[in-house]
Chain A
Amino acid sequence: EVQLVESGGGLVQPGGSLRLSCTASGFALSNYWMSWVRQAPGKGLELVANINQHGSPTYFVDSVKGRFTISRDDAKNSLNLQMNSLRAEDTAVYYCARDVRPGPTLYWFDPWGQGALVTVSS
C-alpha cells in the first residue's frame, strides 16, 4: 500500500526551528516529485515547497523563501522540511504529498500524508 506518514510537528516559539519528516512506504520517493502543502487553522490549502525526482528543490512559496529548506533522504525513503525563523503565521497542519506528473503543466497530488500540526506561539 502506498502511504505517507509525517512526523516532527509540535509547539515552537517564534523565531525557533522545527524539522518535519515524511516517510514513504509502498514506493520509492526518489522516483517522484514530492511536495509539502500546509493548511492554517480554518483556512485553505497552500503549496509550501516541492522537490524534483533528482533531489533538487524547485519551488518555495514567497512567504517561506530563505527560511525553509526541503530535502530528501533516499536511504530512509523520507522527505524533510527544515523550518527556521518560524513565525506565528506559519502555524498550520503540514501535509506531504506525492506529485503525479504526466507532463510539465499537468500534475496532481496523490496520496497525502495524515498531516503534522505545527504551532508557533510563545
Chain B
Amino acid sequence: DIQVTQSPSSVSASVGDRVTITCRASQSMSSFLNWYQQRPGKAPKLLIYAASNLQSGAPSRFSGSGSGTDFTLTINSLQPEDFATYYCQHLYTFGQGTKLEIK
C-alpha cells in the first residue's frame, strides 16, 4: 500500500499570508491526489481533485500542484474562514491532516 505523509502537522499564519501544505507518497500516485478542508465541528469538503483541479465553489485562492510523489496545496491571501484542518487523500488513504491556526 502507498503511504502518504502530510506536513506540517500544524502551521500558524496571519490573515493575508500565503501557506503551503505538502503531501508526500511512498511511491508514485500519478496525479491521483485530492485535498479537503474541514472546519471545526463540520464535515470535510472537497477543495482540489486530481492534484490541481479546483472544485466548483471553492475560492480561487486555493490551488494544488504536483505529480508522482510530491504534492502541494497552496492558499494565497489567507482569509479568516480558511483557518481549518486540511487533509490529502489518495485511494483509501488520508494524510494525517494539517491544522492551520491563526498567529
For A, the interface residue count at a CB cutoff of 8 angstroms equals 20
B44-103 contacts to A, CB under 8 A, are: 44-46, 49-50, 55, 87, 89, 91-97
**Residue of A46, A59, A107, A110 touching B94 (CB-CB under 8 A):** A46
A-B contact count (CB 8 A): 52
**Residue of A47, A110, A113, A115 touching B92 (CB-CB under 8 A):** A47
Q: Is the beta-carbon distance between A44 and B50 smaller than 8 angstroms?
A: no
Interface size class of B (residues with CB under 8 A): 20 to 34
Q: Is the beta-carbon distance between A47 and B32 smaller than 8 angstroms?
A: no
User: A residues bordering B, Cβ < 8 Å?
Assistant: 37, 44-47, 59, 95, 100, 102, 105-115
User: B residues bordering A, Cβ < 8 Å?
Assistant: 30-32, 34, 36, 42-46, 49-50, 55, 87, 89, 91-97
